[in-house]
Amino acid sequence: MPKTRHLPALTATLTALAALSLAATAPAAPIGPVAHSASACHIKGKEQSLGPTYVTYVGVSGGASCGFALHLVKAYDQCRLKHGGVKGTCSGVDGFRCKEHRYAKITVQYDASVTCTRGHEVVFHKYTQFT
């Protein structure tokens, strides 16, 4: 039967090496200001009352509030409708610049994601629009 008296020393050595390799690969502390973390807004029960046919997601970061984000989603939709109806576009509202990406387009509907920014504030939402 093999001798195992060196096993504790080997285990300790391997543990120390693993700890050193993790420390060597740990990211450095960020330099400069740290961005506010993003958070999803609660929209359950409001999906069909925010403007488009269905709003499927609303999120904020950079200090924007969810209450304001819901207002912005409605204002964005009104702007879009004013500039071309359900297929219209809007470049910005309430001091925010907005960019929209439409995907999953079929003749009767499309899905879109919208990112609106003002300084560090970001409001992001996704919607489905029946045409």
Q: What is the pLDDT of residues 94-124, one digit of tens each?
A: 999 999 999 999 999 999 999 999 999 999 9
pLDDT above 70 covers a percentage of the chain that reads 72
Average pLDDT, rounded, for the chain: 82
- What pLDDT band is residue 3 in, cutting at 50, 70 and 90? low
- Looking at the DSSP assignment, which residues form a beta bridge with residue 46? none
Domain residue extents for the chain: 39-130
> Amino acid letter at 88?
G
CA distance 124 to 57: 8
Under 8 Å between Cβ of 109 and 52: no
What pLDDT is recorded for position 77? 98
Task: State mean pLDDT over 32-55.
Answer: 84
